[in-house]
Chain A
Amino acid sequence: MKKIEAIIRPEKFNIVRDALTELGYPGMTVTEVKGHGSQKGISEVWRGRRYRVDLLSKIKIEITVKDADVEKIVNTIVNESQTGSIGDGKIFIFNVENVYRIRTKESGEAAI
């Protein structure tokens, strides 16, 4: 089992979610996060004085799937959320040791 953690542009979230829903996924956790990588923030104006918003809002999607499904989910996210501009985000893949479903006490792949 793998956990996919994707950080993407908020303006692309709708499209990514629609694409993932069409594809099918076991479950999704979405968090609004702030941060930056190579994108060094954007500048805004407050009564004539410029300031910089260093930490930009992004959306973090967490999906835990069977090993076999990782590739197609990652491809979908990359294809749909890529704009080519700095700040498109990153995807991290983690190994997941075990999963428990609280309602039924199932564990392992059956619990995803």
Chain B
Amino acid sequence: MKCVFNKINNVKISTWLLLITLGIFALNAVVVHAGDPNGSTTYSDSIGGLKYSVNFIWTLLGAFLVFIMQAGFAFLGGFLRQKNMLGYMAHCFIDSTLGAIVFYLFGFALMFGGSKLTPGLDFGNSLIGWDGFFLSGRSYDVQTIMFWLFQMVFATKAVSIIAGAVAERMKFVPYIIYSCLMCGLIYPIYGHWVWGGGWLSTLPFGAGVKDFAGCACVHTIGGIMAFVGAWVLGPRKGKYNPDGTPNAIPGHNLVYVVIGTLILAFGWFGFNAGSTLAATDLRMSVVASNTFIAAAAGASIMLFLTWAMTGYIDVLFICNGALAGLVAITAPCAYVAPWAAAVIGLLSGLIMRGAVWLVEVKMKVDDPLGAVAVHAANGIWGMLAIGIFADGTYGGVSGLITGTGWQLLAQAIGTGVAIGWAFAWGAAIFFILKYTMGIRVSDLVESEGVDIHIHGSPCYPVEERYIGNVGEAMIDLNQEREQLSLLEEAMSKDAGREKIYSDKLGRWVYARLKTEKKR
């Protein structure tokens, strides 16, 4: 019955989607194109024209590099158990495809309308923009569309951050809803405040809130949303003992984790250095070097820290340390000197380690990939680092080391707003979804893995000799459903088991069912 109901719902949803798509086509067919769709007015055979050309190449190259970071995020799925890998892959992939569509439809217009950065982005105020919908009309222009591509890949990265925190236990439809809202509203509106000429960028303190490549816009917003998501979902089964001590849940492929970290670091060159948006801005060499110096420093401090704390060289923490350094340097990379990048990187590793402890042990929020510790904590740190280490050589941004504290105040306001904005939206979305459609998969699905139940196939299918084709006569849907509901019932009974502390073993074990105890 549930199956049939779902089918009807799916048909309804797809009809709506079709209508919306047709509507967009109809709308675009009547709009007059007044931008520069082929670039002939933007380009000319002169030094000025060539400048446009190299800037285009640089920004597009940056966009392509940022796009490959999605592969890095996907590879970090090695932190998860085998049975949930495909679910995480699907989340990452949906973010970069569906998210791109949403950002194309209205996210970009809300974010950069009124910024006047490129042609066709004229209307908007300091709170929200409203120009450049569907990249049509005057925004059908080579510059605007180049800019869109670069911003689109950023938006999809911001959405993917949360996939790691809610992995292994989230339903798919709520995830899609969250993904669309994040790409279409939450990220663009905050981005407008900082990057689109909104009120934060024009604060009267220092040079206004500065966020070079997205510590607040991308990482703090994404990381705080990830925290709220993981908190509302609750921990994975078996993560915490009744006395609150956390257990380790090992992932399934550390090769993926290391490769993913390296791909992310590679893509980050585009993320930060590409954010100059101009190859004529030669500061990009400093930006790129600062980026890697911070990553290397973050990884190195974790190398020695894990060695000192556990006696082992913990590769997972070293990888996370590198990511922490990359996140922390994202905002200050253009405004600080290389020595400051090294300091920021070193501290970011320690902050990440501290945040892991705080989130896992103290707050008891289960975050399988460490998204909160890496992105939220270090996004905040990176924003504040501008106010401390900026040396005044670029963009007129000067921090504490030059003797002025106003920039730090501006950064603190910007960061505080980002935290509040993401927390409020995150709590609203996840609590509403939790009490309407439910966001967590059933106990059976969690125990057998979301792959086979939601996506129909394990991420690593069994060998060919174990499978056969399905004959019509072999399928008895009624029986299958009946058996499944029996199993479902048994598994949810198991979830109700109290764990008891066994003195004999010195660890927590599963005890008898609660109901049996009462008898």
Contact = CB atoms under 8 A, between A and B. Distances in A.
Interface stretch (B217-225, B272-280, B451-459): B451-459
Interface stretch (B156-164, B403-411, B503-511): B503-511
B509 A87 contact: no
A19 B452 contact: no
Contact of A18 (B456, B470, B509): B509
B509 A55 contact: no
B249 to A, nearest CB: 12
B491 A86 contact: no
Given A45-B456, A84-B486, A11 B447 contact: yes
Contacts of A14: 238, 510
B516 to A, nearest CB: 9
Interface stretch (A46-54, A59-67, A89-97, A98-106): A46-54
Interface residues of A, number: 30
Interface in A33-52: 34, 39-46, 50-52
Contact of B457 (A12, A34, A45, A87): A45
A52 B483 CA distance: 16
Contacts of A86: 483
A85 interface: yes
A42 B481 CA distance: 11
Contact of A34 (B466, B475, B486): B466
Given A45-B456, A53-B466, A87 B483 contact: yes
Given A11-B447, A21-B505, A85-B483, A43 B475 contact: yes
Given A21-B509, A87-B483, A15 B470 contact: no
Interface residues of B, number: 30
Interface string B421-452: 00000000000000000000000000110001
A107 interface: no
B466 A51 contact: no
B470 A52 contact: yes
A52 B465 CA distance: 11
A53 B462 contact: yes
Interface string A12-39: 1011001101100000000000100001
B474 interface: yes
Nearest to A19: B510
B469 A51 contact: yes
B490 interface: yes
Interface string B461-500: 1100011111000110000000110110111001001000
A59 B246 CA distance: 27
B497 A83 contact: no
Nearest to B477: A43
B448 A11 contact: yes
B502 interface: yes
A15 B509 CA distance: 8
A18 B500 CA distance: 11
Nearest to A41: B468
Given A14-B510, A45-B457, A83 B491 contact: yes
A74 to B, nearest CB: 17
B502 to A, nearest CB: 6
A43 to B, nearest CB: 6
Contacts of A50: 470
Interface of A: 11-12, 14-15, 18-19, 21-22, 34, 39-46, 50-55, 57, 82-87
15 contacts: A11-B448, A15-B510, A22-B504, A22-B505, A44-B456, A44-B457, A51-B468, A52-B467, A52-B468, A55-B466, A83-B487, A83-B490, A84-B489, A84-B490, A85-B487
